[in-house]
A = this chain, B = another copy of it.
Amino acid sequence: MTDAINLADKLATFSDTFSPRTVAQFNDCDVMVVKVQGPFVWHKHDDTDDFFLVLQGHLTIELRDRKVELGPGELFVVPKGEEHRPVAKEEVHLLLIEPSGTPNTGDVATAAPRRVI
């Protein structure tokens, strides 16, 4: 069991991008923080929605038919099965929630390893 989890403190413990860290678990899901910068890969998750909350910076989530722009305190849930590509012009800090074991790239062959901090 853990007590209060300070997201900024957790984010201060690492500097690499596109490598989520699990900071808590909620039912079968990992609650993660991640730093992103630049474009990620186009991908989708056939079995789960994909939760994004911006903590710092500005993120564009490109979908095939439009772009969703997110600033601090704004969230978006990418629907299950929908192709998307997060793009960050500058470094962005995010809170992510996905079922534990979900590959961040949509493909276990290229996914970042699960890291718990």
Contact = CB atoms under 8 A, between A and B. Distances in A.
Interface string A71-105: 00111110110000000000000010101000000
A75 B27 contact: no
B31 A74 contact: no
B5 A76 contact: yes
A77 to B, nearest CB: 5
A51 B53 CA distance: 14
Contacts of A77: 2, 24-26, 31
Interface string A20-51: 00011111000100000000000000001101
14 contacts: A3-B68, A4-B68, A4-B70, A4-B75, A7-B74, A7-B75, A8-B73, A23-B75, A24-B76, A24-B77, A25-B49, A26-B49, A27-B99, A55-B73
Interface of A: 1-8, 23-27, 31, 48-49, 51, 53, 55, 66, 68-70, 73-77, 79-80, 95, 97, 99
Top-7 shortest CB links A-B = A4-B74, A26-B51, A24-B77, A7-B73, A5-B75, A6-B74, A26-B49
